[in-house]
Every structure is written in C-alpha cells, then in structure tokens.
C-alpha cells in the first residue's frame, strides 16, 4: 500500500484529495498548521473513510520540523497544497505570500531530495496564465505577466519544481493548474471553510443565503462578457481531487513523457458570476441578496480551460456540472452554519 504525504491536507482541496486517496487504499499522512483549516475536518475524514490519516501539526516554513515528518515514513509521493491563496490579500500583503508560499515549497523539495522521495504533485493555478490573449486556455500558452503576487508565487513555484527535477536524477513532478474549485463532498462532511470573510464566490453565496452575510457583493458588471460579470471555469472539488490521483498514478506507474509535466484542471466551460448565482438560486429554491460594486484589484475578466491534453494524458475528465456544485455547497453550508456563527 503506497504512502502519500499531503501538505495542507485539512484544507478545502486537500481534505477532498485525502478522502479520495484513502478510498483508493493509499495510506495518507497530513501536514497542516491549521492556519486556514479546522481540526474537526480530521474527524470528518475518518467518518467518510472509516480510517484515520496520520496528522502532523507543522509549519512548513520550519525546515527541521518539516524534515522530521519525512523520517517517519518512506513516502512514495507528496501532494503539496499548503499555501496562502487569497488574490486580494496577496495584493495587500505580498511579502506574506512570497515568504510562506515559496519557503514552504523549498523546504518540501529539500526534504524530498534528502529523503529520496520521488514524486510531487503541485497545487498550481490557472492564474499563471495571466489574462490570456485567446480562449480556451491551453497548456501550450506561455506565462503572461501575473495579475497578483499570489499568481506570481505559483509561476515561481512551478519554475522551482522544474529546476529541482532537472537537477535531481530521481525526482519527478506534475503541476496541476486548477481553474475554480467549488462545491463540497457529497456527504456534506467536508467542504470549503474560509476563516473570516470569504474571499471566494461560492462560500460568500452560501453564507449570504444562510444569513451569516448581509449580501453578496459582485465585483463589477462592466466586463466584456454576456452579462457583464467575470467568467471563470468552475470545477467540482470532487472531480479536482480525482485529478490528483490520476497525476500521482501517472508518476508512480512511470507513464510520464518527461520528468516534469503540467496540466489544466477544469471543465472547459466558462460561467459568469451571475450564472453561478442563478444556478444556486434554482437548484436550492432560494433568492439571494446581492449588489454590484466596483471591480476588485487583481481579478481578470474571463478565463476557462482547454482540457484536451489533461483528459488524454491523465485519463481523467470532470463528471459534475454547475448545479451539482451549487447543491453540494449548500448541503455543506447547512451542516456547518452553527460552527461559522460561533
């Protein structure tokens, strides 16, 4: 049974990937410093899977503590999620993002090199493409000027991984460039749980519907889109979790075409902010209180993916649509509303 180390494994995408790994009979160890997650997620992972992952409460910017985790097991691979992820916060506090996101990755790679761990799947982002000239976005597109410090840390991180792979005979890496993960596990036991005011659209929608927020603020309705609001490629988090397993298996089964690869992970379909709002209202039979305000710094107008390469090379494709995303997100919100109010 393969041993996998998941950093940020109690976070939103990390916890869903941990569940998927465990359901496929991987042994999982988690590193998470709980800066943007909650310990009860660990109990809910056990409720879903019937097993408990090993948990280390470690800050990855501490090299010695990080390396101590690598000495506990002979890991077959690492899935690295742990990073700060707010676009708007990164614009305000760039030093926080460069320090945390880059140093944590460097420590992971140093530990992998020292302990002869072969494979890393990296949580990247479609923001590495900047505002693309053409749509849909293909992996063949080059990086453009980053629209935020968060996006720039992802660009730099991918280059760091590539350099480590090129300098290390045994190391392989795959970067997964996510588009916009939303929704929650079908059990309603894990989902997106932002600390404080949500920075992402869907948790703000669900908290507004639950009465926790007064109204949803839509950032701009003057974009060049069908309804004036920004367009994104929204992907169900369970589909996204499965992409990590596909990437991990591609590495472990020696199917890679080169020692470093990167893939778009999305649906290939663009939906606007108001498309998402209308889907949420429709499937959950609710009316949402929202208003339009000025554009948000760091946001791009529209982006959605070309998934043909990832579909072919990873043998993976999305299964769930926008309505399923909105239904599962509301189910999760109903389960944790009392916690958020507290």
Looking up tokens 């208003």 gives: 291
> Which residues sit opposite 56 in a β-bridge?
31
The dotted CATH code for 201-232+268-308+319-334 is 3.90.25.10
The pLDDT profile of the chain, 342 residues, written as one tens digit per residue, is: 899 999 999 999 999 999 999 999 999 999 999 999 999 999 999 999 999 999 999 999 999 999 999 999 999 999 999 999 988 899 999 999 999 999 999 999 999 999 999 999 999 999 999 888 899 999 999 999 999 999 999 999 999 999 999 999 999 999 999 999 999 999 999 999 988 888 889 999 999 999 999 999 999 999 999 999 999 999 999 999 999 999 999 999 999 999 999 999 999 999 999 999 999 999 999 999 999 999 988 788 999 999 999 999 999 999 999 999 999 999 999 998 755 444
Domain residue spans in the chain? 3-182+234-265, 201-232+268-308+319-334
Same fold, 3-182+234-265 and 201-232+268-308+319-334: no
Bridge-based pairing of strands 77-80 and 3-7 is parallel
Top-tier CATH class for 3-182+234-265:
alpha beta
CA distance readout (Å), 318 to 85, 104, 178, 236: 23, 30, 12, 8
Q: What is the pTM of this model?
A: 0.95
User: Which residues are marked as active site?
Assistant: 150
CB-count burial class (<10 Å; 0-12, 13-18, 19+) for 340: middle
């Amino acid at each position: 049974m393969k041993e996998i180390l998941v950093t940020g494994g109690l976070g939103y995408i990390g916890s869903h990937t941990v569940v998927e790994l465990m359901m496929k009979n991987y042994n999982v160890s988690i590193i998470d410093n709980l800066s943007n997650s909650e310990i009860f997620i660990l109990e809910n992972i056990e409720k879903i899977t019937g097993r408990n992952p090993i948990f280390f409460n470690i800050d990855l910017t501490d090299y010695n503590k990080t390396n101590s985790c690598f000495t506990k097991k002979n890991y077959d691979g690492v899935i690295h999620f742990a990073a700060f992820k707010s676009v708007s916060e990164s614009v305000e506090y760039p030093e926080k993002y460069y320090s945390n996101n880059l140093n944590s990755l460097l420590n992971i790679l140093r530990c992998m090199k020292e302990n002869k761990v072969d494979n890393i799947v990296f949580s990247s982002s479609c923001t590495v493409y900047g505002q693309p000239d053409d749509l849909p976005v293909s992996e063949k597109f080059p990086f453009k000027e980053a629209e935020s410090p968060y996006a720039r840390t992802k660009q730099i991180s991918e280059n760091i991984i590539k350099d480590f792979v090129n300098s290390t005979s045994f190391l392989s890496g795959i970067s997964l460039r996510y588009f916009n993960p939303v929704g929650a596990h079908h059990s309603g036991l894990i989902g997106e749980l932002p600390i404080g005011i949500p920075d992402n659209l869907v948790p703000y929608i669900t908290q507004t519907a639950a009465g926790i927020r007064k109204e949803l603020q839509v950032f701009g309705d003057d974009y060049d889109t069908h309804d004036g609001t920004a367009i994104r490629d929204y992907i169900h988090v369970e589909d996204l979790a499965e992409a990590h397993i596909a990437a991990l298996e591609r590495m472990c089964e020696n199917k890679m075409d080169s020692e470093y690869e990167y893939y778009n992970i999305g649906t290939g379909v663009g939906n606007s902010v108001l498309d998402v709002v209308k889907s949420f209202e429709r499937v959950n039979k609710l009316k949402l209180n929202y208003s339009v305000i000025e554009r948000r710094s760091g946001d791009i107008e529209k982006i959605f993916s070309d998934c043909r390469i990832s579909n072919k090379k990873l043998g993976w494709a999305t299964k769930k649509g926008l309505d399923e995303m909105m239904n599962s997100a509301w189910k999760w919100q109903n389960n944790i509303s009392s916690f958020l109010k507290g």
